[in-house]
Amino acid sequence: MNRIDVNKTYKLFIGGAFPRSESGRVYEIKGADKKFIANPALASRKDLRDAVVAAKSAQPGWANATAFNRGQILYRMAEMLEGRSEQFINEITILEGVAKKAAQLQVSQAVDCLVWYSGWCDKLTSISGSQNQVSGPFYNFTTPESLGVVAVFAEAKPSLLATVRALAPVLAGGNSAILIASENFPLPAISLGEVIATSDLPGGVVNILTGKASELIPWVGSHMEIDGIDLTGVSKKQEEELRLAGVDNLKRIFRFSNTDHPERILSFMEQKTIWHPIGI
Amino acid sequence: MSDFEYASAPESRAIANIESNYGLFIGGKFVQPKKGKSFNTINPATEEVLSKIGYADKSDIDAAVKSARSAYLKVWSKMPAKERGKYLFRIARIMQERAREFAVVETLDNGKPIRESRDTDIPLAAAHFFYHAGWADKLEFAGFGSKPKSLGVVGQVIPWNFPLLMLAWKIAPALAAGNTVVLKPAETTPLTALLFAEVCQQAGLPEGVVNIVTGDGVTGAALVNHPDINKIAFTGSTEVGKSIARAISGSKKTATLELGGKAANIVFDDAAIDEAVEGIVNGIFFNQGHVCCAGSRLILQENVAEEVLDKLKKRMSLIRVGDPMDKNTDLGAINSKEQLNKINEISNAGDKEGANRWSPELKLPSKGFWFPPTIFTGVTQSHRIAREEIFGPVLSVLTFRTPAEAIEKANNTMYGLSAGVWSDKGSKVLWAAKQLKAGVIWSNTFNKFDPASPFGGYKESGWGREGGRHGLSGYLTAEAKVNK
Amino acid sequence: MIIDGSEKSLRKFLDELSPVDQVGAEARAAMLATRSIKTSSKAWAIDMAISMVDLTTLEGADTPGKIKTLCAKAVRPDPTDSTVPSVGAICVYNDMVRIARSELDSIGGNSLPVAAVATAFPSGRASLAVKKIDTQDALDAGASEIDMVIDRGAFLSGRLMEVFEEIRMIKELCGDKAHLKVILETGELVTYDNVRKASYLAMLAGADFIKTSTGKVAPAATAPVVLVMLEAVRDYFALTGTKIGVKPAGGIRTTKDAIKQLVLVKETAGDQWLTPDLFRIGASALLNDLLMQRMKLRSGHYASANYVTVD
């Protein structure tokens, strides 16, 4: 008799814990072969509300950690993801229907992406800060600072890589994140919660919601405690909706091209300029 | 009433597996020197022999450079930058894992207190690799052009005062920028470099990318003069630095030099006095004063001189001198007999020239090389103890009345590595920082190092910077300069 | 005289105190926390710490029963081991002093002082008249130590003379019947500069001890705060020849914490302060951890909470 697998339950990831949706709802995910895989949670606006509370509360601690420490944690995430390669390769092949080799490549690229951004944490100000030569006896310098809470809608595919590519720069800049996984290809995103939970990342710095982007978009767009949005994964129409709703607190909103670049970090950072007189 | 004498709290030696002898690390393996020569390395706190070390002569240097060149051409310069970076991350992680072992070996070989190796040297060394690992695949963003190129093979000679940390300051940026290296550790402190070679093996670093050649000054000269080296990185005395600069003046080799210092530590009357006293102590007694950027001249505002000196002396009486392996030791052994002789010679000159020497009453161990924490008051700029680098736990104290006078005295030296400023007034701190001719200015702190912070000197304290974005330029081909 | 009793001279003196650099002070405290205290020095430190504990209960729910068991614990911390010293004092609310004193006297703890918190502890928000009656009550009931709180509102709004006068008046009531500890509530003062100023203000006004906290506000007795207060008593002694005591209270829960405090004392104010006459630790849970560590040193293996009494 073949051994019966113990199938995973896919829950939300909020504040470092794995709760079900407060609405009790789930939805069905089928693989590329149309077979049933799982019933991930269908997040509600209240789950989003809870995620924002967690993200907001965790953000100052994350921003105040040393850049070295943030880099260490992102590198640790890379180590943890590498260790779980098989798990993610399976999820990607079943979900996306791609060959194992392609899934392997995707996972190794995701690991390398985390390593890349981990190395940026303590170098950002070297490339984007400056001491400015103003006219007058003043020491004047500009330094980037974290923005706050950033919502991320990553592209649906490649399901793991696009998610990591969007999430890592947000974290490198000292922000906390609310990741809204793609509706049809959510599993690698929600499994990323397991990687995060074992990487010493403080609870609440990353929160992951699965469900219908269309249901959550009006709430993400209008939430006054969300400071920025990466909407690379949404449609043009949804983008307009988010941008309109985001005007009320002038959210910083961007769609990115398929690339790794320090600009993705700096887009979710503020620039502070400080003057100080020089004299006895 | 008090019997609160700290009982001996020794760190265990068991973790350190020091071999009875070591070969040279060339081409990824430990090999015997071709002529079979060796020398001993000792523990300066006890004078016991720790290990027999291979002595590299010209033929060994030749082999090492060949190996480095081959690794550069065939492997390292062809490897995608992000993979290079991942080797450096591995090295950093293994150093973190073996941190305690490194700390114990460093203390045994160098004589510095275990607390300092454990809490400062080793963590900083690992952090240096971690930091530079992240630059390897980001050089196009570093402000050196869109396709910065490495130099090739780099010859590196490091001193004995922070053996592993100086190794990290040299090797990490060199490798991150795509170069391969031949590094010569100091004669009296080869062990952590050899342990580092093991880490390279554990990290799977391609053979020949890092080569460690142990030996003495003659070994170092052979490396510097080797025709197939593209660049030299040297940390050590100004005297030797100048001889290197002379040696390469007719060649295409470039050099970065991190040389001596005689840093001024200026304390204004509006300083946070208790913290300033800590800063003075840290500035000159940290690492037994074997620090190029040590705050060896205290420049004290006259109206607080008595108060500060009184607190300083009381604070110095708390300095625990003794067994470097004791976790409570603050001041360890002087690294060698030669260095102890030098310290004694200049200090005696201080007495002869009329300065007033003071040390707390202490019992020094009978074996090993020791010098008590010492201050000289009544010092003027013309005294040898105010002009020459002592490289020991000896502080010369001068006074000033006005800010301008403080700056004048501080700058009155051929050195320009570092300086300290103590004042609670922000604008004065920035004003002083602006006036001081030194590459590193510490305000209301001292002896702070970070891989992200560029370090290096003005004037005869050297050429170039190490650490930070600026430090990368020494290992990349310059865009605008021409190599003669 | 350092000050002439006028507000002007008090302000001048306090303004001219050297500032404290936060980063530097915290670094010094952190460095002292790395001291490794082992074997014989650890044994000495544990017993000294026990003798310095002001065993405290300050709960709204305190009852005579609770006070009585506290007294028993204070006199004989370990009923199975008579080599364990008694604590330094017991510390209770004003209306529990009489019970505490009579209980201690009946079980052989006559030499153990009762310290009472007073002056509208912990907030200090009451009229001067009420604070004086509060203090007198405690003294009449047999308290030989008074732990008063300063008026933080007055301090933070710059009414320094008011704070000074209150302390002076409470000290006057104490006379030589009781020693006065002045609680600065450092968690509310926030900056080290304020801690330094308040320390000197309290000493000039007549404090016998300066104390960090009520234990009701966090942060309480952090290492850098205690460092700054020890520097103050050290320098005050150099200035006046008078030795004032220091009492950290709140947040000191483990033997490690207590030993770190003793290291701070030794390497800041000096060995002379390593006595319950000049250093006390306000704590409750700490005592049992000290006992467990003492057991471990004697037996060589880790102890269990089952072997120390809960009260």
pLDDT beneath 50: ranges in chain A: none
Confidence at residue B1, expressed as pLDDT on a 0 to 100 scale: 44
Phi-psi region of B32 (alpha: psi -120 to 50; beta: other; left: phi over 0): beta
Tokens of B446: 């001292």
The amino acid that residue C87 corresponds to is V
CATH architecture observed for domain A29-277: 3-Layer(aba) Sandwich (3.40)
Q: Choose the mutation target among C16, C18, C20 for the interface with B, i.e. most B CBs under 10 Å.
A: C18
Does B4 sit within 8 Å of C271, measured CB to CB? yes
Tokens of C222: 């952090």
**Partner-chain residue, chosen from C21, C39, C48, that has the shortest CB–CB distance to B444:** C21
Q: Which residues pair with A115 in a beta bridge?
A: none
Does C41 sit within 8 Å of B445, measured CB to CB? no
- Same structural domain, B89 and B168: yes
Confidence class of residue C304 from pLDDT cuts 50, 70 and 90?
confident
Integer CA distances (angstroms), C250 to B465, C54, C183, C260, in order:
47, 11, 12, 14
Q: Which residues on chain A are in Cβ contact (under 8 Å) with B301?
A: none
Within a domain: residue C305?
no
Within a domain: residue B44?
yes
The Cα C244–Cα C167 span in angstroms is 15
Q: Which residues on chain A are in Cβ contact (under 8 Å) with B135?
A: 119, 123
The Cα B154–Cα B185 span in angstroms is 14
Q: Identify whether C42 is a catalytic site residue.
A: no
Q: What is the CATH number of the domain that holds B151?
A: 3.40.605.10
Q: What is the ipTM of this complex?
A: 0.93
Number of domains chain C contains: 1
Within a domain: residue C257?
yes
Within a domain: residue B368?
yes
3-state SS, A188-244, equals HHHHHHHHHHCCCCCCCCEEEECCCHHHHHHHHHHCCCCCEEECCCCCHHHHHHHHH
Within a domain: residue B7?
no
Q: What is the CATH number of the domain that holds C53?
A: 3.20.20.70
- Same structural domain, B302 and B255: no
**Partner-chain residue, chosen from B86, B430, B468, that has the shortest CB–CB distance to A276:** B430
Q: Choose the mutation target among A115, A141, A275 for the interface with B, i.e. most B CBs under 10 Å.
A: A115
Within a domain: residue B481?
no
**Partner-chain residue, chosen from B89, B451, B468, that has the shortest CB–CB distance to A115:** B89
Long-range contacts of C186-191 (CB under 8 A, 24+ apart): C186/C212, C186/C213, C186/C219, C186/C220, C186/C221, C186/C222, C186/C225, C187/C213, C187/C217, C187/C218, C187/C219, C187/C220, C188/C152, C188/C156, C188/C217, C189/C152, C189/C155, C189/C156, C191/C20, C191/C22
Whether chain B has a CB inside 8 Å of the CB on C274: the answer is: yes
Does B137 sit within 8 Å of A279, measured CB to CB? no
Q: Choose the mutation target among C41, C48, C236, C265 for the interface with B, i.e. most B CBs under 10 Å.
A: C41
Within a domain: residue B62?
yes
Phi, psi of C274, deg, nearest 5: -85, 65
Give the tens place of pLDDT for each residue, C238-295: 999 999 999 999 999 999 999 999 999 999 999 999 999 999 999 999 999 999 999 9
Confidence at residue C1, expressed as pLDDT on a 0 to 100 scale: 66
Within a domain: residue C110?
yes
Does B130 sit within 8 Å of A280, measured CB to CB? no
Number of domains chain B contains: 2
Q: What is the CATH number of the domain that holds B393?
A: 3.40.309.10
Long-range contacts of C262-266 (CB under 8 A, 24+ apart): C262/B4, C262/C45, C262/C48, C262/C49, C263/C32, C263/C33, C263/C35, C263/C37, C264/C29, C264/C32, C264/C223, C264/C226, C264/C227, C264/C230, C265/C230, C266/B2, C266/B4
Tokens of B429: 């701190």
H/E run at residue B296:
none
**Partner-chain residue, chosen from B133, B134, B434, that has the shortest CB–CB distance to A278:** B434
Neighbours of chain C (3+ CB pairs under 8 A): B
C-alpha distance from A26 to closest chain B C-alpha (Å): 40
Does C272 sit within 8 Å of B271, measured CB to CB? no
- Same structural domain, B69 and B139: yes
Phi, psi of C128, deg, nearest 5: -60, -40
Distance between alpha carbon B190 and the CA centroid of its chain, in Å?
14
Does B137 sit within 8 Å of A119, measured CB to CB? yes
Within a domain: residue B2?
no
Confidence class of residue C309 from pLDDT cuts 50, 70 and 90?
confident
> In terms of pTM, does the model score above 0.90?
yes
- Same structural domain, B208 and B311: no
Whether the upstream peptide bond of residue A158 has omega within 30° of 0, thus cis, is: yes
Q: Which residues on chain A are in Cβ contact (under 8 Å) with B431?
A: 278-280
- Same structural domain, B337 and B410: yes
Give burial (CB, 10 Å; 0-12/13-18/19+) of A28: exposed
Residues 6+ apart with CB under 8 A from B106: B112, B117, B121, B122, B163, B164, B189, B191, B192
C-alpha distance from B128 to closest chain A C-alpha (Å): 10
Give the tens place of pLDDT for each residue, C64-114: 999 999 999 999 999 999 999 999 999 999 999 999 999 999 999 999 999
Catalytic residue among C147, C208, C257, C289: C147
Q: CA of A119: which chain B residue's CA is closest? A: B134
Domain coverage including residue B362: 264-450
The Cα A73–Cα B100 span in angstroms is 21
The Cα A56–Cα A176 span in angstroms is 7
C-alpha distance from C282 to closest chain B C-alpha (Å): 21
Q: Are B436 and B421 in contact (CB under 8 A)?
A: yes
The Cα C112–Cα C89 span in angstroms is 6
Give the tens place of pLDDT for each residue, B243-296: 999 999 999 999 999 999 999 999 999 999 999 999 999 999 999 999 999 999
C-alpha distance from A55 to closest chain B C-alpha (Å): 27
The Cα C255–Cα B461 span in angstroms is 48
Within a domain: residue B455?
no
Does B424 sit within 8 Å of C19, measured CB to CB? yes
Integer CA distances (angstroms), C55 to C90, C261, C275, in order:
5, 16, 16
Q: Do chains C and B touch (3 or more CB pairs under 8 A)?
A: yes
C-alpha distance from B422 to closest chain C C-alpha (Å): 10
Give the tens place of pLDDT for each residue, C112-139: 999 999 999 999 999 999 999 999 999 9
Q: Which residues on chain A are in Cβ contact (under 8 Å) with B452?
A: 67, 122-123, 126
Give pLDDT tens digits along chain B (484 positions): 457 999 999 999 999 999 999 999 999 999 999 999 999 999 999 999 999 999 999 999 999 999 999 999 999 999 999 999 999 999 999 999 999 999 999 999 999 999 999 999 999 999 999 999 999 999 999 999 999 999 999 999 999 999 999 999 999 999 999 999 999 999 999 999 999 999 999 999 999 999 999 999 999 999 999 999 999 999 999 999 999 999 999 999 999 999 999 999 999 999 999 999 999 999 999 999 999 999 999 999 999 999 999 999 999 999 999 999 999 999 999 999 999 999 999 999 999 999 999 999 999 999 999 999 999 999 999 999 999 999 999 999 999 999 999 999 999 999 999 999 999 999 999 999 999 999 999 999 999 999 999 999 999 999 999 999 999 999 999 878 876 5
Sequence length of chain C is 311
Q: CA of B133: which chain A residue's CA is closest? A: A119
3-state SS, chain C, equals CCCCCCHHHHHHHHHCCCCCCHHHHHHHHHHHCCCCCCHHHHHHHHHHHHHHEEEECCCCCCCHHHHHHHHHHHHCCCCCCCCCCCCCEEEEEHHHHHHHHHHHHHCCCCCCCEEEEECCCCCCCCCHHHHHHHHHHHHHHCCCEEEEECCHHHHHCCCHHHHHHHHHHHHHHHCCCCEEEEECCHHHHCCHHHHHHHHHHHHHHCCCEEECCCCCCCCCCCHHHHHHHHHHHHHHHHHHCCCCEEECECCCCCHHHHHHHHHHHHHHCCHHHCCCCCECEEECCHHHHHHHHHHHHHHCCCCCHHHCCCC
Q: Identify whether C140 is a catalytic site residue.
A: no
Catalytic residue among C73, C131, C171, C211: C211
Whether chain B has a CB inside 8 Å of the CB on C108: the answer is: no
Shortest CA distance to C187 belongs to which of C116, C273, C256, C248? C248
